[in-house]
């Protein structure tokens, strides 16, 4: 079979697998988020945690629980990293320096998993398992919890209550993430991913040299890293490392895992608002953007567009693994940047200007196609609100979405949401470029160097975590600024989404009339796609022009 046929088959297999998961997983999530009944083990968790899992909370109370959990998580993880040398299984690693520990704690709590460290030379097994990977579970669950609150805002009337944060968090971890991660961890082990508690051991190689073979509980971390769209690698090379991603099969499984929950959530949306067609419209927009991006990156890489190094080599294989090749690398790169995953099976820094620029643009879209676990759906619903509002302006009518009026208050929260991330990205990148020391952190010369800085800020603000990794980001300045950007980029939008949820929940639903804009037709799919591209394009175009566009058009 040729490369092209195999490449198409691989994409087809992925789409079929995701399609088959859409209904069962989406309906299952809807059940988990709406059922009244607690499992016995969940009651035990509430009792152990001393929280009440039964009462419905008003949105500020829901937010307070979420922020308290985030703050405690950052402090706990920070202490864990600083004290790792006193704990078991530290493998003799030093305590993590203060700035790096802050950056890493912020990174994992915010579902970003930006890594300014190299896993194999910095982290012991215990801190990876019981510190970092725990956040992979709970930060993913927090994202879904926030979108659950927003969906309740659309479905409930004349109430201030949007759900119970502790019940949402606990159920999502125990009923969804933990079982799936467990099954797929074993699948990954069976396919070659390592899972042990050994330290590195020295051996004499085939040719008589020396190599230090690393160990670790990798598979258990790998499955939740993809499933929770976290992306933090056990090793520095992330999913390019053969111990994390040994074959073409594990590669496709990992891509499937990072996409499966975000692509199923529109079904949950449809189920919860009582109209599956609403879910189909949203997932259609996601699929269109994802497919277009896969096509663009693959074509750029295959044809080595604007890439002198690629033409000298004969193929764009710098930074890509032999067992994956172009197609499987491009598919991974697109999926990881259109979700908030940020795992990488190849070096994005070495992609063509168009291919690498596309991974950057994917994140700038706000990670909504399909986006992170939960954050993808609330991101695209905010844009849907804006699209409905724009359509309302055109016909001179108060816009409504799913029976809820979009008044000044709702639009204020939606606008604040949309302004937060670009402000963080552009101000942050501007500051970095203003200081000679921070400019010097670039590896590559010319516009590509600027892309490295822009990518870092975009990745942090959108909670992606992938990198144009040539940038030397382990400095006090980058660790501090990116840490703050990740925290603001995660929690400020959550505040606005929950405020919007509360405001929507307080409204009485208005009946559908002949003048209501239908939001389940292809017309709306087109409108929403257009609004997404125009809003993002206008925001980031000048920055993109200085980076990937300048590089590609030279």
Residues 143-182 that bind other proteins (CB under 8 A): 166, 169-170, 173-174, 178, 181-182
Binds other proteins (CB under 8 A): choice among 144, 194, 302, 528: 194
Select 120 or 400, whichever has its Cβ closest to other proteins: 120
Strand, coil or helix: 211: strand
Binds other proteins (CB under 8 A): choice among 4, 35, 121, 398: 121
Q: Please answer whether residues 158 and 510 qualify as being in contact, where contact means their C-beta atoms are separated by less than 8 angstroms.
A: no
Q: Please answer whether residues 377 and 269 qualify as being in contact, where contact means their C-beta atoms are separated by less than 8 angstroms.
A: yes
Strand, coil or helix: 161: strand
Shortest distance (Å) from residue 15 CB to other proteins:
14
CA–CA distance, 527 with 170 (Å, rounded to integer): 37
Whether cis (ω within 30° of 0) applies to the bond prior to 370 is yes
10 Å CB burial of residue 436 (0-12, 13-18, 19+) is exposed
Shortest distance (Å) from residue 171 CB to other proteins:
12
Shortest distance (Å) from residue 31 CB to other proteins:
21
Select 240 or 495, whichever has its Cβ closest to other proteins: 240
Tokens (6 digits) for 63? 């937010």
Tokens (6 digits) for 321? 């693994």
Select 382 or 467, whichever has its Cβ closest to other proteins: 467
Q: Which of residues 400-439 bind other proteins (CB under 8 A)?
A: none
**Residue closest to 94 by CA, chosen among 74, 129, 118, 72:** 118
Q: Which of residues 339-398 bind other proteins (CB under 8 A)?
A: 344-347, 349-353, 356
Q: Would you count residue 200 as binding other proteins (CB under 8 A)?
A: yes
Query: Helix, strand, coil shares of the chain as percentages rounded to 5?
Result: 65, 5, 30
Shortest distance (Å) from residue 548 CB to other proteins:
10
Binds other proteins (CB under 8 A): choice among 279, 342, 366, 470: 470
| 510 φ, ψ (degrees, to nearest 5) | -100, 145
Q: Would you count residue 89 as binding other proteins (CB under 8 A)?
A: no
Shortest distance (Å) from residue 91 CB to other proteins:
11
DSSP states along 222-276: HHHHHHTT----SSTTGGGSTTT--SHHHHHHHHHHHHHHHHHHHHHHHHHHT-H
Select 36 or 50, whichever has its Cβ closest to other proteins: 50
- Listed ranges 15-23, 31-39, 243-251, 375-383: which one lies at the site for other proteins (CB under 8 A): 243-251
DSSP states along 81-120: HHTGGGSTT-TTPPPPPHHHHHHHHHHHHTT----SS-HH
In 274-320, which residue ranges form alpha helices assigned H by DSSP?
Answer: 276-302, 308-313
Shortest distance (Å) from residue 267 CB to other proteins:
25
**How many H-runs (helices) and E-runs (strands) does the chain carry?**
22, 6
Shortest distance (Å) from residue 231 CB to other proteins:
15
Select 470 or 502, whichever has its Cβ closest to other proteins: 470
- Listed ranges 6-14, 30-38, 94-102, 150-158: which one lies at the site for other proteins (CB under 8 A): 6-14
Q: Would you count residue 86 as binding other proteins (CB under 8 A)?
A: no
Shortest distance (Å) from residue 451 CB to other proteins:
8
Q: Which of residues 484-523 bind other proteins (CB under 8 A)?
A: none
The alpha-carbon radius of gyration of the chain (Å, integer) is: 23
Shortest distance (Å) from residue 137 CB to other proteins:
4
> End-to-end distance of the chain based on CA atoms, in angstroms?
37
- Listed ranges 16-24, 358-366, 443-451, 495-503: which one lies at the site for other proteins (CB under 8 A): 443-451
In 50-193, which residue ranges form alpha helices assigned H by DSSP?
Answer: 59-82, 98-109, 119-122, 125-126, 133-155, 165-171, 178-190
Q: Which of residues 42-61 bind other proteins (CB under 8 A)?
A: 45, 48-51
Select 118 or 398, whichever has its Cβ closest to other proteins: 118
**Residue closest to 374 by CA, chosen among 168, 517, 522:** 168
CA–CA distance, 395 with 401 (Å, rounded to integer): 15
Q: Would you count residue 199 as binding other proteins (CB under 8 A)?
A: no
How many degrees, rounded to 5, is the angle at CA 385 between CA 266 and CA 372? 40
| Close Cβ partners of 100 (under 8 Å, ≥ 6 residues apart) | 81, 116, 117, 122, 474, 479
Shortest distance (Å) from residue 97 CB to other proteins:
19
Select 356 or 506, whichever has its Cβ closest to other proteins: 356
Q: Which of residues 256-315 bind other proteins (CB under 8 A)?
A: 306-310, 312-315
Q: Would you count residue 40 as binding other proteins (CB under 8 A)?
A: no
Select 153 or 470, whichever has its Cβ closest to other proteins: 470
Q: Would you count residue 193 as binding other proteins (CB under 8 A)?
A: yes
Select 133 or 504, whichever has its Cβ closest to other proteins: 133
Other CB atoms within 10 A of residue 414 CB:
22
Q: Would you count residue 130 as binding other proteins (CB under 8 A)?
A: yes
- Listed ranges 68-76, 274-282, 399-407, 505-513: which one lies at the site for other proteins (CB under 8 A): 68-76
Q: Would you count residue 186 as binding other proteins (CB under 8 A)?
A: yes
Q: Would you count residue 137 as binding other proteins (CB under 8 A)?
A: yes
């Amino acid at each position: 079979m040729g490369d092209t046929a195999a490449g198409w088959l691989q994409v087809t297999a992925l789409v079929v697998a995701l399609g088959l998961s859409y209904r069962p997983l989406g309906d299952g999530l809807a059940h988990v988020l709406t059922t009244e009944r607690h499992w016995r083990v969940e009651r035990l968790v509430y009792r152990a945690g001393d929280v009440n899992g039964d009462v419905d909370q008003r949105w500020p109370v829901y937010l307070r629980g979420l922020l308290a959990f985030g703050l405690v998580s950052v402090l706990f993880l920070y202490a864990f990293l600083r004290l790792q040398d006193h704990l078991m299984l530290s493998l003799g690693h030093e305590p993590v320096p203060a700035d790096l520990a802050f950056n890493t704690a912020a990174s994992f709590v915010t579902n970003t998993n930006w890594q300014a460290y190299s896993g194999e030379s910095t982290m012991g097994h215990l801190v990876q398992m019981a510190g970092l990977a725990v956040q992979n579970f709970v930060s993913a669950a927090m994202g879904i919890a926030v979108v659950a609150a927003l969906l309740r805002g659309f479905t409930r009337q004349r109430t201030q209550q949007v759900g119970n944060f502790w019940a949402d968090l606990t159920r999502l971890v125990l009923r969804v993430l933990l079982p799936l991660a467990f099954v797929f961890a074993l699948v990954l082990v069976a396919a070659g991913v390592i899972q042990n508690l050994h330290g590195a051991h020295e051996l004499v190689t085939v040719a008589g040299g020396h190599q230090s073979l690393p160990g670790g509980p990798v598979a258990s971390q790998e499955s939740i890293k993809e499933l929770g769209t976290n992306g933090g690698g056990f090793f520095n090379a992330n999913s390019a490392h053969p111990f994390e991603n040994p074959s073409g099969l594990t590669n496709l499984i990992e891509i499937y895992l990072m996409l499966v929950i975000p692509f199923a959530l529109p079904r949950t949306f449809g189920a919860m608002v009582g109209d599956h067609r609403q879910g189909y419209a949203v997932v259609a927009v996601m699929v269109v953007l994802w497919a277009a991006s896969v096509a663009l990156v693959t074509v750029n890489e295959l044809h080595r567009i604007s890439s002198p190094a690629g033409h000298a080599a004969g193929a764009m294989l710098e930074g890509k693994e032999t067992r994956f090749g172009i197609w499987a690398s491009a598919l991974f790169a697109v999926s990881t940047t259109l979700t908030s995953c940020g795992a990488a099976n190849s070096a994005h820094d070495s992609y063509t200007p168009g291919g690498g620029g596309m991974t950057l643009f994917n994140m700038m879209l706000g990670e909504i196609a399909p986006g992170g676990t939960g954050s993808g759906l609330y991101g695209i619903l905010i844009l849907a609100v804006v699209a409905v509002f724009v359509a309302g302006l055109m016909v001179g009518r108060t816009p409504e979405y799913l029976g809820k009026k979009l008044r000044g208050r709702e639009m204020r929260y939606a606008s604040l949401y949309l302004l937060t991330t670009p402000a963080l990205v552009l101000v942050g990148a501007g500051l970095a470029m203003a200081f000679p020391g921070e400019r010097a952190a670039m590896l590559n010369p010319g516009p590509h160097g600027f892309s490295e800085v822009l990518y870092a800020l975009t990745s942090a603000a959108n909670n992606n975590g992938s990198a144009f990794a040539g940038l030397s980001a382990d400095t006090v300045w980058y660790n501090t600024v990116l840490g703050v950007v990740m925290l603001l980029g995660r929690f400020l939008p959550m505040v606005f989404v929950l405020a919007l949820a509360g405001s929507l929940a307080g409204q009485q639903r208005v009946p559908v009339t002949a003048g209501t804009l239908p939001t389940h037709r292809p017309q709306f799919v087109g409108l929403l796609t257009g609004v997404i591209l125009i809003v993002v394009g206008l925001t980031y175009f000048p920055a993109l022009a200085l980076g990937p566009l300048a590089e590609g058009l030279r």
